[in-house]
Amino acid sequence: MYQANEKRYETMKYHRCGTSGLMLPELSLGLWHNFGDTGVYENMRQMCFTAFNHGITHFDLANNYGPQPGSAEENFGKILKNEWYAYRDELVISTKAGYDMWPGPYGTGGSRKYLIASLDQSLKRMGLEYVDIFYHHCMDPETPLEESMEALAQIVRSGKALYVGISNYDGETMKQAAKILEELHCPFIINQNSYNIFNREIEKNGLKQAAAEQKKGVISFSPLAQGMLTNRYLNGIPKDSRVNTDGRFLHAKQFTQERLESIRSLNAISADRGESLAQMALKWILRDGIVTSVLIGASRPEQILENLKVLNSASFSEEELKKIDACSLEL
């Protein structure tokens, strides 16, 4: 039976999520990849336990994480039930709904029917009475924003989620959502968006600045640009790369000569800092204090341990930030 490391809270840094009472670890573990039916269950267990043993208390899922959709929640629920439930109150568990989940018009989008039904299914898969954070996973222009936000408020009132968040929204829509949720007295505390050195869309669409102004948390996913911001692609695409074995989110055509040169230049900057490219990329996201937590992904426990080294990483000088900007190439 699993027993947590007694020193698990000694090295992790925690940041308050907006002005709420909830604090999130600087690094959180995302279960987007490697927790579905194609994953190895024992490896999933060890990744969860390794993360928690080092103070990572937040575990992020979505209804459609797999493959197959729903399987990541099922596997996580199995770990909870079999060995981990004694630590439930030390965990922050989040899930989402918004993208396609089941056939027909009620299995996608932002309708009240879909959001509430999806969370009910997620809770069953994980064996939980509530999640700590429930997100609307994406903007839905076909559904009134008021309806989606009212559904989130209803979910909190029902006790099925403690807090709510929105994911993949832009700054202006986030402001509108925040106003509605405030009027509904619903604890909206966090925005989840892709953000990394190569993808700065939340700076362009105003989300990052709006979150700071509204005093809401931000958590970033894909911090390493699906592995581009690591030393894995310094010499091109390895045979066992996700590009060749999966290909859903990373494609060979993205690795232009210009892209490879950018990766190598960034790697040189990280080497001068005495750290890996991945560690520098994670630190860059946290550089100005606006981002609350970074969602890391992993395929094995050792990657989590490597990413945790960012906790002791040095702050950036203005010169280093300028160098990163100069040699980065946005996706």
In DSSP notation, 149-166 reads HHHHHHHHHTTSEEEEEE
For 304-325, write each residue's pLDDT tens digit.
999 999 999 999 999 999 999 9
Q: What percent of the chain has pLDDT over 90?
A: 89
At 249 the pLDDT is 60
Would you list the DSSP string of 283-300?
A: HHHTTTS---EEEE--SS
For 151-189, write each residue's pLDDT tens digit.
999 999 999 999 999 999 999 999 999 999 999 999 999
Question: What does the angle CA 309 – CA 310 – CA 312 come to, to the nearest 5 degrees?
Answer: 80
Q: How confident is the model at residue 244 (pLDDT cuts 50, 70, 90)?
A: very low
At 233 the pLDDT is 77
For the cut 60, the answer to whether the pLDDT of residue 259 exceeds it is yes
Please give the DSSP secondary-structure letter assigned to residue 196.
B
Read off the pTM.
0.95
What number does CATH give the domain 14-227+286-314? 3.20.20.100
Summarize the confidence of residues 276-289 as an average pLDDT: 97
The domain spans of the chain are 14-227+286-314
Give the H or E element holding residue 95.
strand 92-97
